[in-house]
Structure 1
């Protein structure tokens, strides 16, 4: 179905946080998805993925994750300098601030006209995959998709070491993690650490692995894999439909 797009803002800790909000054009009640970018914020590769998901019947809210550090509307270029800029903004953001932002967007979605308030999910890429996992700590989140999530196994996220791995058992919803087996940022030993922690936590989860590199779903980079991207998107849509629509 067709989608409608808008930019809104909410105040979080007295900072305006821009949210790219995209929803089905047809009036109705749809699941809401907190949608996290990678370290480069809301460039066109990310907003295209948000649009794609919304077209399958979801209200997608994508916040600027560095709204405390960078001017509203900042899109970081995926270059060596951009990588430094994105990682520096992450380093200056406390884990508690990321958590506060998640709660703010989840609260927005739960009250937003057109969102089925009991059907809230989260999704993200790279650092956003880690943030989507942390968003799942919120009991309102029924399902989370973590795409090549960085830092879960090591605790790397913001200013301080994140406790995500040790808190997995608090998650009440279901997790879906997608990894690239060629990803140097989440190597095999890191994936094993995450898998073991998930098994120990006894939460509902599934894992898919693709023979692909980090950021394989960004269509503007040399690591883009169209086939893996299409397959992953179909898995993601099916997962959200089973957990948020048909559950």
Structure 2
């Protein structure tokens, strides 16, 4: 499929959120995937990943996850300065802002002729956590979380009772959880805690741990593993194909 990309600026309670939309060109309605970036926002690797998913018949929306804290169009570099700024933004944004961001995108796609109204979510790194957060919305039918950071910590600011893992009862759809065993950001004990918490519920979820480093899906840098990335995409596409079509 050829891909059409465009920009929409969505109003949210915390300000305008630039959102990049990648979808099959031409006529037709497709399921939507809310696609969440790393702390660096829509970098080249994130745009290519979103367009890859769009090429399989999805309307993929990539929001600027820290839109309240940066000028519109900000992309942080994969360097120390970008990492420091992204981590500072992560620590500054209240989790309720992500919830209202999700609601804004869901309301937007439900009104679009190019969307069937079926909605999933996907993300890498903090984006894996934000995809998990999107799964709290009742409209989200399935979610692919790749090495989701901070599900096992309290790094993201939360008021009491608002941590993502404290709201599992709100998740109605299916989860795909993918991890790298050599990822220092989510160590074995953290993964085990998340698995235990999920397994104590009636949620429908699939769990995969690969011999990969953090950011093994990112097609830039030494940690990229093309074979694992291909497997990860196929697992996500299989789930979305079952749940969104």
TM-score (norm: length of structure 2): 0.96
Once the two structures are TM-superposed, the CA of residue 7 in structure 1 deviates from its matched residue by 1.2
Once the two structures are TM-superposed, the CA of residue 233 in structure 1 deviates from its matched residue by 0.7
2:36–2:127 Cα contact (<8 Å) kept: yes
2:147 matched residue in structure 1: 148
Q: Give unpaired runs (5+ residues) of structure 2.
A: none
Say which SS state the counterpart of residue 200 (structure 2) adopts: helix
2:121–2:140 Cα contact (<8 Å) kept: yes
2:40 matched residue in structure 1: 40
TM-score (norm: length of structure 1): 0.95
1:128–1:149 Cα contact (<8 Å) kept: yes
Say which SS state the counterpart of residue 65 (structure 1) adopts: coil
1:135 matched residue in structure 2: 134
Say which SS state the counterpart of residue 193 (structure 2) adopts: helix
Say which SS state the counterpart of residue 206 (structure 1) adopts: strand
Q: Give unpaired runs (5+ residues) of structure 1.
A: none
1:120 matched residue in structure 2: 119
1:101 and 2:101 correspond: yes
Once the two structures are TM-superposed, the CA of residue 106 in structure 1 deviates from its matched residue by 1.4
Q: Structure 1's 238 and 26: CA in aligned 2 closer, same or farther, altered over 3 A?
A: farther
CA distance in 1, matches of 2:141, 2:57: 16
1:210 matched residue in structure 2: 210
CA distance in 2, matches of 1:151, 1:186: 8
| 1:153-209 deviation per Cα after TM superposition (whole angstroms, max 9, x unaligned) | 113224667511121122111111110111011111111111111111211111111
Once the two structures are TM-superposed, the CA of residue 26 in structure 1 deviates from its matched residue by 3.6
| 1:84-104 deviation per Cα after TM superposition (whole angstroms, max 9, x unaligned) | 000111111111111111111
2:37–2:62 Cα contact (<8 Å) kept: yes
2:8 matched residue in structure 1: 8
1:155–1:164 Cα contact (<8 Å) kept: no
| 1:220-242 deviation per Cα after TM superposition (whole angstroms, max 9, x unaligned) | 12211111111111111111101
Coordinate RMSD, CA, aligned: 1.3
Say which SS state the counterpart of residue 138 (structure 2) adopts: coil
Say which SS state the counterpart of residue 103 (structure 2) adopts: helix
1:213–1:223 Cα contact (<8 Å) kept: yes
2:232 matched residue in structure 1: 232
Once the two structures are TM-superposed, the CA of residue 14 in structure 1 deviates from its matched residue by 5.7
Once the two structures are TM-superposed, the CA of residue 74 in structure 1 deviates from its matched residue by 0.6
2:19–2:61 Cα contact (<8 Å) kept: yes
CA distance in 2, matches of 1:14, 1:126: 23
CA distance in 1, matches of 2:202, 2:122: 21
